[in-house]
A and B are shown apart, each in its own frame.
Chain A
Amino acid sequence: AQSVTQPDIHITVSEGASLELRCNYSYGATPYLFWYVQSPGQGLQLLLKYFSGDTLVQGIKGFEAEFKRSQSSFNLRKPSVHWSDAAEYFCAVGVSNFGNEKLTFGTGTRLTIIP
């Protein structure tokens, strides 16, 4: 079964600084990988996804992520954070089989932005 580890529970970054959120996964084959963002009281919004091909994927709001098979990682990056990026970020791995399409999420990383 697949699993996801987000080792950082809480990260604080100054506005304008760069950001990297870590994600490691465990899965026997090439996974489908996702990053979602959740603001307080809101549902999950998809930031970006990796299915195949180019290992550097671009997403919305200026985010990008790099799939590294050798490290089983899919870290999320942003060159310069904005105060509105403060939220909870979830990495997820998915399997696409008819009858079993569930996502497995990490425990999340809470991002705080300081002025």
Chain B
Amino acid sequence: GENVEQHPSTLSVQEGDSAVIKCTYSDSASNYFPWYKQELGKRPQLIIDIRSNVGEKKDQRIAVTLNKTAKHFSLHITETQPEDSAVYFCAASISRNTGNQFYFGTGTSLTVIP
């Protein structure tokens, strides 16, 4: 099955600096890569996603890049703010008969220091 690895597990940055979280996946059939933000005790919220036919996608301060050859994708947050503090999960999705199943990375706990 798919194996998704995520690094780093914890990340602390000063407010205004950039944060980068990296994920790798094992199954070349994966074709959809969402990123979720989960605040303490709350549900994961989709923040950005990218499909395998796209190399980069940006939404305001958040961007995601995908390297299909190397099987890795990254989340970039610029001009970080304290409210960006949360746990971020990447996921890789493989299309099956029953639909896309997500395999999540282990999560990155991001702390933005004011």
A and B pair up: no
Which residues of B approach A to under 8 Å, CB–CB?
A: none
- A residues near B (Cβ < 8 Å) are none
